[in-house]
């Protein structure tokens, strides 16, 4: 299993290990699927003796990471970081980017139809004012993949548009959607909205 932990996060973990006198040397990371915000990640520092037989164990310099087997798929290739923002600080787990499947034509099925209706009636009229458009490119189970074009492609606020606009609207209208992935190549945007 591959899990990336940034140097900033490692420094904070090492500080917590030191504060515990070395007693708490294992970082347990559990992924809880579903919910309004998608997968919720729980991190806790525990004694190594709390390792369960089925846990996947990853060794780092001064600590180990314990991952329950049911969380491995959601954590594969993820990055653990420690972030400090204006009103918050803490660990943040960013799942590995997912790729849409190559297919001929738009995704089909009841979930795809419902998501496309939300995009066409609620999302795209709002982003059209900035010369943008958002298209559904794939559906894998209850996870959807969207692509931004026009003014949304390369826009500095595209991440905020995705999280606070598109994802919120889609999840309210189609609650069975568990994740929304942006597969846009933002670096190649030629006319981003600023």
- Tell me what percent of the chain is helix, strand and coil, each rounded to the nearest 5: 30, 30, 40
CATH number at residue 135: 3.30.300.130
Segments forming the whole domain that contains residue 77: 4-94
Q: Which two tokens stand for residue 50?
A: 């709390």
Rounded CA-CA distance 27/74 in Å is 16
Q: Let me know if residue 101 belongs to a domain.
A: no
Q: Let me know if residue 152 belongs to a domain.
A: yes
Burial of 30: CB neighbours in 10 Å, binned 0-12, 13-18, 19+: middle
Q: Let me know if residue 41 belongs to a domain.
A: yes
Domain boundary among 94, 124, 145: 94
pLDDT confidence tier of residue 192, bands split at 50, 70 and 90: very low
Q: Lowest-pLDDT range, 49-53, 105-109, 149-153?
A: 149-153
Domain boundary among 62, 94, 126: 94
Q: Let me know if residue 171 belongs to a domain.
A: yes
- Range 29-41 average pLDDT: 72
Please indicate, yes or no, whether residues 167 and 90 belong to a single structural domain of this protein: no
- Range 106-128 average pLDDT: 89
CATH number at residue 87: 2.60.300.12
- Range 154-179 average pLDDT: 78
Q: pLDDT digit string (tens) for 44-101?
A: 999 999 999 999 999 998 899 999 999 998 888 889 999 887 777 889 888 776 666 6
Domain boundary among 26, 61, 94: 94
- Inform me whether the pLDDT recorded for 125 exceeds 90: no
Percent of the chain residues past pLDDT 90, beyond the cut = 38
Q: Which two tokens stand for residue 109?
A: 């099925």
Please indicate, yes or no, whether residues 63 and 136 belong to a single structural domain of this protein: no
- Range 170-181 average pLDDT: 86
Q: Let me know if residue 102 belongs to a domain.
A: no
Alpha helices in the chain (DSSP H): 7-19, 72-75, 110-118, 124-128, 158-160, 167-173
Query: Nearest CA to 148 among 96, 121, 188, 104?
Result: 188
Q: Let me know if residue 150 belongs to a domain.
A: yes
- pLDDT at position 95, please? 78
Please indicate, yes or no, whether residues 15 and 52 belong to a single structural domain of this protein: yes
- pLDDT at position 144, please? 86
Q: Give the residue with greater pLDDT, 121 vs 102.
A: 121
Please indicate, yes or no, whether residues 17 and 78 belong to a single structural domain of this protein: yes
Query: Nearest CA to 142 among 164, 169, 166, 174?
Result: 174
Three state DSSP letters for 91-104:
EEEECCCCCCCCCC
Domain count across the chain = 2
Q: Whole-prediction pTM value?
A: 0.56
């Amino acid at each position: 299993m591959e899990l990336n932990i940034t140097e900033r996060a490692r420094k904070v973990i090492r500080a917590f290990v030191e504060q515990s006198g070395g007693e708490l040397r294992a970082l347990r990371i559990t992924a809880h699927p579903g919910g309004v915000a998608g997968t919720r990640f729980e991190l806790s520092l525990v004694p190594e003796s709390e390792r369960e037989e089925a846990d996947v164990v990853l060794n780092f310099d001064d600590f180990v990471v314990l991952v329950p087997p049911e969380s491995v798929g959601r954590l594969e290739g993820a990055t653990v970081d420690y972030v400090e923002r204006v009103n918050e600080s803490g660990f943040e787990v960013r799942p590995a980017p997912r790729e849409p499947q190559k297919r001929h034509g738009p995704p089909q099925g009841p979930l795809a139809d419902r998501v496309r209706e939300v995009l066409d009636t609620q999302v795209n009229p709002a982003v059209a004012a900035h010369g943008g458009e958002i298209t559904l490119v794939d559906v894998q189970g209850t996870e959807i993949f969207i692509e931004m074009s026009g003014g949304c492609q390369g826009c500095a606020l595209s991440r905020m548009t995705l999280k606070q606009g598109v994802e919120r609207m889609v999840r309210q209208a189609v609650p069975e959607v568990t994740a929304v992935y942006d597969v846009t190549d933002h670096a190649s945007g030629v006319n981003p909205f600023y």
